[in-house]
Amino acid sequence: MSSSAAAAELAVQAKQIALAGDGYWRGVFRRLLRDKVTMFCAFVLLCMLLAILFAPLLAPHDPYQGSMIRRLRPIGTENYPLGTDELGRDILTRLLYGGRLSWFMGILPVVLAFVIGTTLGVIAGFVGGRVNMLIMRMTDVFYAFPSVLLAIAISGALGAGIANAILSLTIVFIPPIIRVAESVTTGVRNLDFVEAARASGASALTIVRVHVLGNVLGPIFIYATSLISVCMILASGLSFLGLGTRPPEPEWGLMLNTLRTAIYVQPWVAVLPGACIFVTSICFNLVSDGLRQAMDVKG
Amino acid sequence: MFYYLIRRVLYAIPIALAVGFVCFMLVQIAPGDPINAIVPPDAPADVVEQVKRDYGLDQPLAVQFGIWLMKVVQGDLGRSLATGRPVWADLSTAIANTLTLAAFASLIGFSAGVVLGGLAGTFRGSVIDRLAVSTAVAGVSVPHYWLGMVLVVIFSVQLNLLPAMGAGPGGSADWAWDWEHFQHLILPAVTLSVIPMGIVTRTVRGIVAEIMNQEFVVALRAKGLTGWGVFQHVVKNAAPNVLAVMGLQLGYLMGGSILVETVFSWPGTGLLLNSAIFQRDLPVLQGTILVLAMFFVALNLIVDLLQTALDPRIKRF
């Protein structure tokens, strides 16, 4: 390509960017809108979120009110479109209410781990030296446990309960976030503009706030969103083992556990809560993948 | 090379010690005084004091850890509070069962993952690529305890083809290599294989696609090498990284099989952990987690060493 053609090409690109009034976020947003899979999954998640938020309005029955005479009805029963559980409670109602705890326990640990892990990781990456050594060697220890095992070990020792489950899941997700935060911060720390800011007399805090965080939060955030799917499966898994929520509280993992004995009577009713976990988890995974591509984060 | 080996092995020691400390702390963070598990609540105060001295519970935490560590190193994991039997006695058979399950599951998951990922990486953008990518996403997103239930519903309840529970006929916990036992292995192993299959597919696809884009592949083609010859070069280049991922996945299977074992009542470490959690049998919980975590540490070490042996360019540290 001749130099004049290349220059013309560049000019066209520049014009396109200028015409679009392009900020970085606008570009991200435009790419997201074009990504059909991501938009579909985001739509499904939005519907689910609205459904569980407005569960009291949507649910046809009381989530705790059972009846011995209508136990384990099949899917399609009149008034009970998704059947009833082993205590005669409406499955649809309990799925709607159950989503609240499942989502809460799937998202909150990741948010907590994001805050704590990013703080520690950025400190480790920016300060370096001994502080880095100390923080990173500690994460190495937690890396020596398979994540499922660590979550079960901690909540198994602490005992059942929502708070303990959230605590143990947060501990599980902090080390991987620290690792990502540390590696991106180390990468940014040595870039020229940070050097320039330092040379112009900016304090460490200002450099971190203005120059480092702006550049590292994106990749860490993307990584954290990819953990939501895992966290949801693990959280429901803890409840499935009897370590998370306690009966009669509706939660997808716990419902799956209590319905397990019913697989010989109403097999398709019994597997419904798990299908909800699966759909949520796969949608979060695909949205996270879509975000990663739209924000052009590698890794 | 030699120094790298020594350093890598030495590095595993503090990690193993720290892992031991975390396991030791599990009992400490558990609510309630550990003494309550040993003596009845109405025991006289001087008896409680005596027992505390006998068990070393009156010592500072660091000393207690030292005593515990000495015992563990000698293979004494304590006694189960529920059965009174040594923890190791139950644990050893459970580990053998979990290993059988994990090995079989990884065999399925790894072969499927390598084939799918390899094809997808070679034929980017084709139907098989899309199929592989969807399978991989589904594999890592599926709650495997639920998948286990669905498989039971299909193959045991509806079709009545395979047993739904246990490791052998009559609920026996001892594994044997015959068809009767093998039938019990199929469903849990397939269930467990889904996650490593997804991850291995993803990894192999990425690595193969990257290698196929490199110049040396073009050079090989230009030299006149076709299918099989190029394939050999790709395998050689992909092997170290793929192996590393597989090693980690095997470790995750060992530690992560608890949910699947619970669904299928497979008499492995997961079922042991599950009952220990319910009976608040902390020595069993601690011992099982310690052994599984140590297995994971050892596996990480082996993978690193193997990777270095396969690809001398890798000298991390």
- Model ipTM? 0.82
> Residue A90's beta-bridge partner residues?
A84
Query: Shortest Cα distance from B302 to chain A (angstroms)?
Result: 13
Of A148, A253, A286, the CB nearest to B258: A148
Q: For residues A220 and A210, what is the distance between their CA atoms, to the nearest angstrom?
A: 16
Closest by alpha carbon to A271, among B261, B146, B163? B146
% of chain A exceeding 90 in pLDDT: 26
Task: Answer yes or no: is pLDDT of B6 > 80.
Answer: yes
Which positions 66-125 of B are in contact with A (Cβ < 8 Å)? none
Compute the residue count for chain B. 317
∠ CA(B239), CA(A172), CA(A148), 5° rounding? Answer: 65
Q: Are B138 and A282 in contact (CB under 8 A)?
A: yes
3-state secondary structure of A77: strand
Q: CA-based Rg of chain B, rounded to a whole angstrom? A: 24
CB contact under 8 A, A256 and B18: no
Q: Å from A235 to nearest chain B CA?
A: 10
CA distance B243 to B110: 10
- Distance of residue B218 Cα from the nearest chain A Cα, in angstroms: 24
The answer on pLDDT for A20 being more than 60 is no
Amino acid at B197: M
In chain B, residues 16-75 whose CB comes closer than 8 Å to chain A: 16, 18-19, 22-23, 26-27, 29-31
Contact check, Cβ <8 Å, B142/A281 = yes
CA distance A88 to A67: 5
**Cβ pair B273:A152 closer than 8 A:** yes
Most confident among A165-169, B116-120, B128-132 (mean pLDDT) = A165-169
Q: Which of A146, A168, A236 is nearest to B255 (CA)?
A: A146
Residues in chain A with CB shorter than 8 Å from the CB of B19 are 141, 144-145
Alpha-carbon distance A101 to A98, whole Å?
A: 6
pLDDT mean over A32-41: 87
Q: What is the DSSP string of B56-121?
A: TTTS-HHHHHHHHHHHHHTT---B-TTT-SBHHHHHHHHHHHHHHHHHHHHHHHHHHHHHHHHHHH
Partner residue facing B143 (CB), from A242, A263, A278: A278
Mean pLDDT of B207-235: 81
Structure tokens at B130: 């899309």
pLDDT band at A110, cuts 50/70/90? very high
Is the distance from CB of B139 to CB of B199 less than 8 angstroms? yes
pLDDT band at B317; cut points 50, 70, 90: very low
Q: Is B304's pLDDT higher than 50? A: yes
> In the prediction, which pLDDT does A227 show?
92
The string of pLDDT tens digits covering residues B154-170 is 888 778 777 777 766 66
A270 vs B138: CB contact, 8 Å cut-off?
no
Best of B24, B98, B130, B145 to substitute, by most chain A Cβ atoms within 10 angstroms, is B145
Cβ atoms < 10 Å from Cβ of A233: 27
Contact B258 A149 (CB under 8 A): yes
What residues pair up with A77 in beta bridges, in sequence order? A80
Task: State the smallest CA–CA distance between residue A45 and chain B in angstroms.
Answer: 15
> What distance in Å separates residue A155's CA from the closest CA in chain B?
9
Spell out the residues 6+ positions from residue A123 whose beta carbon is closer than 8 angstroms to its own: A131, A135
In the structure, what pLDDT confidence band is assigned to residue B70 with cuts at 50, 70 and 90?
Answer: confident
- Which residue in chain A is spatially nearest to B249 when comparing CA positions? A146
From chain A, pick out residues whose CB is under 8 angstroms from the CB of B152: 263
Closest in A153, A159, A243 to B289, CB measured:
A153
For the cut 70, the answer to whether the pLDDT of residue A288 exceeds it is: yes
pLDDT at residue A68 is higher than 80: no
Residues of B in contact with A279 (CB under 8 A): none
Ranking B49-63, B256-270, B290-304 by mean pLDDT, the lowest is B49-63
Return mean pLDDT, chain A.
Answer: 84
Q: Is the dihedral of CA A19, A21, A24, A29 positive or negative?
A: negative
Q: Are B146 and A158 within 8 A, CB to CB?
A: no
Output the CATH code of domain A35-295.
1.10.3720.10
DSSP output for B242-296: HHHHHHHHHHHHHHHTHHHHHHHT-TTHHHHHHHHHHTT-HHHHHHHHHHHHHHH
Q: How would you class A104 by CB atoms within 10 Å of its CB: exposed for 0-12, middle for 13-18, buried for 19 or more?
A: middle
User: Over chain B, what is the mean pLDDT?
Assistant: 82
* Cβ atoms of residues B258 and B274 within 8 Å: yes
Count the Cβ atoms, other than its own, within 10 Å of residue B176. Answer: 11
Distance between A140 CA and the closest CA of chain B, angstroms: 7
Residue A119 confidence class, pLDDT cut points 50, 70, 90: very high
Contacts of B293 in chain A (CB under 8 A): 144-146, 149
CA distance B140 to A278: 10
The predicted structure's pLDDT at residue A5? 57
The answer to whether the Cβ–Cβ distance between A154 and B26 falls below 8 Å is yes
Is residue A10 scored above 60 in pLDDT?
no
Tokens of B84: 């009174």
Nearest to residue B267, comparing CAs of B100, B97, B99, B89? Answer: B97
More confident residue, B294 or B181: B294
Q: Select from A16, A20, A84, A136 the least CA-distant residue to A262.
A: A84
